[in-house]
Amino acid sequence: MTQADITGLILAGGRGTRMGTVNKGLQPFRGSTMAAHVIERLRPQVGALAINANDDLARYEAFGVPVLRDTTPGYAGPLAGMEAGLRACATPLMLTAPCDSPFLPADLAARLLDALQAQGADLAVAVTIEGKRRQPHPVFCLMRRALLPSLSDYLADGGRKIDAWYASHKVAEVVFEDDGAFRNINTLDELQAMGMPKLTDVTSCLSAYDPDALPVRDAQRIIREFVTPVRAVERVAIRAALGRVLADDLISPINVPAHDNSAMDGYAFRGSDLRDDAPITLSVIATVYAGRPSDAVPASGECVRIMTGGVMPDGCDTVIPQEHVASTHEHSITIAPRTLKQGDNRRFQGEDLKAGSPALKRGRILRPADLGLMASLGMAEVPVQRRLRVAFFSTGDELRSIGEPLDEGCVYDSNRYTIFGMLQRLGCDVIDMGIVRDDPQALEDALRSACENADAIVTSGGVSVGAADYTKEVMARLGDVTFWKIGMRPGRPLAFGRVQSNGRSAFLFGLPGNPVAVMVSFYFFARDALLHMMGAQAPLPLLRVTSAGAIRKKPGRTEYQRGILSPDGREVRITGSQGSGILRSMVEANCMVVLHDEQGNVAAGDEVDVLLFEGLV
């Protein structure tokens, strides 16, 4: 058997009372949730995944894997979750892991499978050596599906101890050297202490990590796993909610629509009166207006005139638009055969939203239509994430601010204004710290001030090979920062990490100094991280279109080329010179062509990925 013959089961069915009102696996951890981290580590090791949970089922179902409830009542512990998993398991083997252990080993399944087969065992369990003592971790267990009858009998007899059930079977113990991989988080204090990772914790998960030759996707993954969301929530009036990030699911307090109603101006009647072979004539007995329900109850052969939104009278299930009526008289209408079907043009109570169902999901960036939806539900205020505070500055002795004389060899600082615009588009509260000269003390002072007043810091310049020596020294003193050479064009140098000062910390994004490289690096590295910190779900949408011409490209690095998408959205052409200092090319372009690592030269007619600037730049 292979790992494809294993179903991974994440055990999240416990009560987790020490974690407050939020289920353990759904607790925020390092930018997502604990369960999400377990899923990410377990998914590559198994052929299928499932979650055992008894509460918050809708949120667990949002992970896109089957969610299984205990079949043994009364919270019978992890064995009940294992039983539920074995009942649903479609593979010969099942591997279990708890939802509160986000560091589980990347080779857990492989090593347990090897031991199970080599020893002909029923179960294989992970073990660590702590001091001189062997410490089994029984919930990290690979078991045969055939054990289901034995487990069900044990639970039916009142058994609850996992070790006692294991004792009746042949168990293979597998020693793992890293006891930290089996850490579980049991309290909110532990969660907070462990929720701030070191960069080495994240980079150690990557095979062949090389900061001097880092692929784009690896850099993006490291950043996403390292940053943590800001959890402060505030309530605002819906007029102030546009562009804010929704902090909780909004549950509809009412049915929308509140009653069965007409979707058209026309006539409501009993659909059973319709005939396919002859016209029908109906007597009009009343008129129903929107907002003014009628007591009229049309019988067979009768109808009411009804306006859009009018409440459907009892017995009526069909509406014919007034323009489709074959003929009208003073008190009757005639409908031609096969004009419509029974049930047409009737809107059902709760068709748009049912009372008690989510109207809007947490993490949504609120748009104008959302404000209208909230108003339709009678919501005057909504919970939103606190605005993210971002400080930014440019570095370089050659930079001058607008309004200052332009000395020989100097240039006006454009990056700060570009960054300002990009941050404003994200809805951040911005702190413009101006230009910081090329001086270690000036840089340290700026970083300390930014760190003490902001959640994140964005800088431009000072991270290239020639300029980074003292920058590295300063940042090393202030926190956990790494310098990367990323396999991309434009924008190869990037600094990332977290700096601290006087008990405060902020995430740092050190962007290159070339104007186009600043924008590319911001959108493909900083933007997603900042949105993640805001609690927002807004991935960059890439379109697949045809290239109008050939594009030269070397495999092994990601390239971002400025392009112009045709009005019909089917074809893209490159703007021309792609130098990273040519900001005008970004102004002329309406999109960016994304050429991934593995791609080589593009021929005319080939499909490429495109990122539209509309709403972004």
CATH number for position 153: 3.90.550.10
Q: Is the peptide bond before 279 cis (omega within 30 degrees of 0)?
A: no
What CATH number should be reported for the domain holding residue 245? 3.90.105.10
Round to whole Å and give the CA distance between 591 and 582: 15
Count of other CB atoms within 10 angstroms of residue 576: 13
Find out whether 386 and 234 touch, Cβ atoms under 8 Å: yes
Q: Is residue 176 part of a domain?
A: yes
Do residue 145 and residue 33 come from a single domain?
Answer: yes
Helices 440-453 and 468-478: angle between axes, nearest 10 degrees: 40
Round to whole Å and give the CA distance between 210 and 187: 35
Q: Is residue 217 part of a domain?
A: no
Q: Is 528 helix (H, G, I), strand (E, B) or coil?
A: helix
Q: Is residue 207 part of a domain?
A: no
Tokens read off for 600: 């080589």
Do residue 135 and residue 20 come from a single domain?
Answer: yes
Do residue 370 and residue 409 come from a single domain?
Answer: no
Round to whole Å and give the CA distance between 411 and 414: 9
Q: Is residue 55 part of a domain?
A: yes
Beta-bridge partner residues of 68: 52
Q: Is residue 256 part of a domain?
A: no
As annotated, the binding site includes 11-13, 24, 52, 70, 100
Round to whole Å and give the CA distance between 512 and 395: 10
pLDDT (tens digit per residue) in 307-327: 999 999 999 999 999 999 998
Do residue 124 and residue 268 come from a single domain?
Answer: no
Distances (CA, A) of 18 to 15, 103, 138, 396: 9, 20, 21, 51
Do residue 489 and residue 381 come from a single domain?
Answer: no
Bridge-based pairing of strands 327-328 and 280-288 is unpaired
- CB < 8 Å & 24+ apart, contacts of 406-415: 414/515, 414/583, 415/460, 415/461, 415/511, 415/513, 415/515, 415/518
Domain finish residue from 385, 407, 431: 385
Do residue 269 and residue 399 come from a single domain?
Answer: no
pLDDT value for 187: 67
Round to whole Å and give the CA distance between 225 and 216: 14
Name the pTM for this structure: 0.65
Q: Is residue 522 part of a domain?
A: yes
Round to whole Å and give the CA distance between 209 and 127: 28
Do residue 189 and residue 240 come from a single domain?
Answer: no
pLDDT value for 206: 80
Burial of 517 (0-12, 13-18, 19+ CB in 10 A): buried
Do residue 332 and residue 238 come from a single domain?
Answer: no
State the SS3 of 289-305: ECCECCCCCCCCCEEEE
Count of other CB atoms within 10 angstroms of residue 557: 18
Count of other CB atoms within 10 angstroms of residue 262: 25
Do residue 362 and residue 419 come from a single domain?
Answer: no
Round to whole Å and give the CA distance between 64 and 47: 15
Round to whole Å and give the CA distance between 43 and 8: 8
Round to whole Å and give the CA distance between 309 and 243: 31
302: Cα within 13 Å, side-chain hemisphere: 13
Ranges of H-type helices in 281-399: 368-376
Count of other CB atoms within 10 angstroms of residue 235: 12
Look up the domain containing 286 and give its range.
Answer: 261-347
Q: What stretch of H or E contains 422?
A: helix 415-425
DSSP state of 388: P
Do residue 41 and residue 108 come from a single domain?
Answer: yes
As annotated, the binding site for GTP includes 11-13, 24, 52, 70, 100
Backbone angles phi, psi at 17, to 5 degrees: -65, -25
Do residue 86 and residue 49 come from a single domain?
Answer: yes
What CATH number should be reported for the domain holding residue 401? 3.40.980.10
E strand spans, 54-200: 67-68, 93-98, 123-130, 133-144, 171-175
Do residue 519 and residue 560 come from a single domain?
Answer: no
What CATH number should be reported for the domain holding residue 316? 2.170.190.11
pLDDT value for 584: 76
As annotated, the binding site for Mg(2+) includes 100
Q: Is residue 605 part of a domain?
A: yes
Q: Is residue 422 part of a domain?
A: yes
- Structurally, the chain folds into a number of domains equal to 5
Tokens read off for 107: 């080779």
pLDDT-flagged residues of the chain (< 50): none
Round to whole Å and give the CA distance between 520 and 494: 11
